Amino acid sequence: MERTKYPSIKEKRLLEEFQELTALDSVSFHERRMADRLKEKLRDLGFAVYEDRAAEVYGSEAGNVYGSYPGTLEGPPILLSAHMDTVEPGIGKRAVVHRDGRITSEGNTVLGADDVAGIAAILEAIRAVRESGRPHRGIEVLFPVAEEAYGKGSTVAEYERLQAKEAYVLDLSGPVGQASLQEPTFVSFEVEFVGRAAHAGFAPEQGIHAIAVAARAITQIRQGRIDSDTTVNIGKISGGKATNIVPESVRIEGEIRSYVHEKALEQMERIREICERAAAESGAAARVSSRLHMLAYKVGEQENVVRRFRRVCSELAIPCVLTATLGGSDNNCFIQHGIRGIVLACGMNQVHSTEEFSSVQELVRCASIAAGLLMEE
C-alpha cells in the first residue's frame, strides 16, 4: 500500500494475531477464552478495561468487554466494535494462509473471520496509531458476546459507560471499503395450530387435522420478497406424531425483515389474521406469538460518521461503497442507545459456512481504515 498520512500497518503482526484469535474456541455464550485474551491485550496496550454482567444475565461464560484510552485530538472518543462469538461449527478452528494470500479454515469449521477479522483490525489499528506518536481521537472499544444470537450481548451492554457518539462496527462481509448505513426491523414469529387427535383408520371424522389447517394458512401467506423493503420467510415446520393419528398440533416458525418498521408490523398482522382465520374455519386454534429483535434504522450519508469514513477511504485510495444490509448487527443496539454507528466490511466472505474466507490484503486494508478513523476529526 502507498504511503499515506496514516501510520503503516504491520502485516505480519496482524496476520499472527488473526491466527492466534481464530484458534480460540468462542462459539456464542462460550467466549471466556476470547474475553480473557482480549482483556489482556487491551491492558498491555494501556487501556482501562471492564467486563460487564452479560454472563450473569444469560448464564453464559463471559460478559461484553470494554476498553478506553484517552486521545490527543478534541472531541468525544470514537467507538470501534467487533463481536467475540462465532457460529458453529467453530470448535478447533485453524486459519490456513495460502500462497496467494487467501485465508481459509481447514475445511471442517468456519474460519471465524466473522468477527476476528474485525477484532484483529481494531487491535492492529490501535497499535499502529500509538506507535506513530501522532495525534488521535480518544478510543473506545466494545467487544460484545453473543452477537450471533440476535445481538444478545449488545442488548444488555452498559451504554452509560460509553462516551462515544459515533461508532464503527466491523462486521460486514464483502470487499473492504463497503459500509452499511441501514438495517431492517426484524421480527420472528411462531404459530402453533392445535386441532384434535383421532385414530386415522377407525375415526378420522372425529379429528381436526392440524397439518391440513397449517397447510391452508401457509399457502395464503405471501413469502419471499414482498416489496423492495420487505421479506417474509417461513423456515421451519414440525408436528404430527404418527401416520395412524390425525395430527393434533403443528408448529411453524418464520421471520420478517423490512427497512420500514411499519411494513414489518403490517406483515405480522396479516400472518396472524390468515392463521387465525384458517384455524377458525376448521374448528382448530392458532396460537400466534412474535418477537421484535431489531428496529429499522438509517444513517444519513451526510452524517459525520459517514463523511469521516469516506475521507479515510479516499486517503487510502480504497473504493468506498455505501450500502444497506438486510442482516443485523450490534450496531442496531448502538443506534437505539443514541450512538450513530455504521457497519464496515472487514475482510470476511461466505460467512456462516465452512467456505468462509478472508485475505491478508483485506485484513491490512481494514486495519488501515480503522487506524485512519482514529486520526480524523
Helices (H), ranges, the chain: 11-22, 32-44, 54-58, 113-132, 152-155, 210-220, 261-281, 304-316, 331-336, 360-375
Taking CB under 5 A as the rule, does residue 52 contact Zn ion? no
Q: Segment contacting Zn ion (CB under 5 A): 21-29, 113-121, 194-202, 316-324?
A: 113-121
Quote the DSSP letter at residue 7: P
Pick 26 or 68: Cβ nearer Zn ion: 26
Task: Provide DSSP, 186-227.
Answer: EEEEEEEEE-B-EETTT-GGG-B-HHHHHHHHHHHS--EEEE
- Report how far residue 191's alpha carbon sits from residue 189's, in angstroms, rounded to the nearest whole number: 7
Pick 287 or 352: Cβ nearer Zn ion: 352
Q: What is the pairing mode between strands 321-323 and 166-172? A: unpaired
45 within 8 A of 104, measured Cβ to Cβ: no
- Side chain identity at residue 28, one-letter code: S
Of the candidate residues 17, 31, 114, 166, the single one contacting Zn ion (CB under 5 A):
114
> Least distance to Zn ion from the beta carbon of 112, Å?
10
Residue 163, SS3?
Answer: coil
Residue 161, SS3?
Answer: helix
Q: Segment contacting Zn ion (CB under 5 A): 40-48, 65-73, 109-117, 179-187?
A: 109-117
Pick 31 or 115: Cβ nearer Zn ion: 115
Q: Segment contacting Zn ion (CB under 5 A): 96-104, 114-122, 158-166, 354-362?
A: 114-122
Pick 115 or 166: Cβ nearer Zn ion: 115
Q: Which three cell numbers stand for residue 39?
A: 482483556
Q: Which of 282, 301, 150, 154 is nearest to 216 (CA)?
A: 282
Of the candidate residues 115, 124, 183, 192, the single one contacting Zn ion (CB under 5 A):
115
- Report how far residue 257's alpha carbon sits from residue 173's, in angstroms, rounded to the nearest whole number: 19
Pick 26 or 185: Cβ nearer Zn ion: 26
Task: Write down the catalytic residue from 124, 140, 147, 171.
Answer: 147
Q: Segment contacting Zn ion (CB under 5 A): 86-94, 106-114, 211-219, 311-319?
A: 106-114
- Report how far residue 129's alpha carbon sits from residue 224's, in angstroms, rounded to the nearest whole number: 46
> Least distance to Zn ion from the beta carbon of 343, Å?
9
> Least distance to Zn ion from the beta carbon of 18, Å?
15
Binding track, positions 232-261, relative to Zn ion; x by CB under 5 A: ------------------------------
For Zn ion (CB under 5 A), the number of binding residues is: 3
Q: How many CA atoms lie within 13 A of 353 on its CB side?
A: 9
Residues 160-219 that bind Zn ion (CB under 5 A): 171
Q: Which three cell numbers stand for residue 252?
A: 411453524
Pick 164 or 346: Cβ nearer Zn ion: 346
> Least distance to Zn ion from the beta carbon of 147, Å?
6
Pick 86 or 258: Cβ nearer Zn ion: 86
Helices (H), ranges, 76-173: 113-132, 152-155
> Least distance to Zn ion from the beta carbon of 257, Å?
16
Q: Is 106 a catalytic residue?
A: no
Q: Is 88 a catalytic residue?
A: no
Q: Which of 256, 282, 275, 90 is nearest to 184 (CA)?
A: 256
> Least distance to Zn ion from the beta carbon of 186, Å?
15
Q: Which three cell numbers stand for residue 285?
A: 386454534
Whether the CA torsion 167, 84, 347, 298 is positive or negative: it is negative
Q: Segment contacting Zn ion (CB under 5 A): 15-23, 107-115, 209-217, 331-339?
A: 107-115
Pick 144 or 254: Cβ nearer Zn ion: 144
Residue 19, SS3?
Answer: helix
Residues 31-50 that bind Zn ion (CB under 5 A): none
> Least distance to Zn ion from the beta carbon of 167, Å?
15
> Least distance to Zn ion from the beta carbon of 171, Å?
4
Task: Write down the catalytic residue from 17, 31, 52, 85.
Answer: 85
Residues 125-154 that bind Zn ion (CB under 5 A): none
Q: Which of 70, 89, 187, 188 is nearest to 138 (CA)?
A: 70
Chain residues in the site for Zn ion (CB under 5 A): 114-115, 171
Instruction: Show which residues are catalytic.
Output: 85, 147
